[in-house]
Amino acid sequence: EKQGLKNYPYWLTVEKDGAQPKLVYLLGHDSKEAFNAAFDRFRVDPDWVKARDESEAPGKIVEKVDGVFYKALPFSPMK
């Protein structure tokens, strides 16, 4: 939120094979361009970099990040 991103729900997946769950979450902004600019600021934010580095001191915890953009439909309560 510090960078202007809107935070929505966060989930952990339930894997059928007992594999490590995946973190899934939604972030939003008014436009794709504004989102990209805000996310770029987030990635280099000193507070975030410090928190990430401290959490990964024992080893990497993120293997892959996928980004998907969605467009709300007119009848969606989330617009």
pTM to 2 decimal places = 0.72
From 78, 76, 3, 2, select the one nearest 34 (Cα to Cα). Answer: 3
- Domain coordinates of the chain in residue numbers? 6-55
* pLDDT tens series, the chain, 79 aa: 999 999 999 999 999 998 889 999 999 888 899 999 999 999 999 999 999 999 999 988 888 888 898 888 999 887 6
Identify the H or E element spanning 32: helix 32-44
Catalogue the E-assigned strands of 1-79.
6-12, 23-28
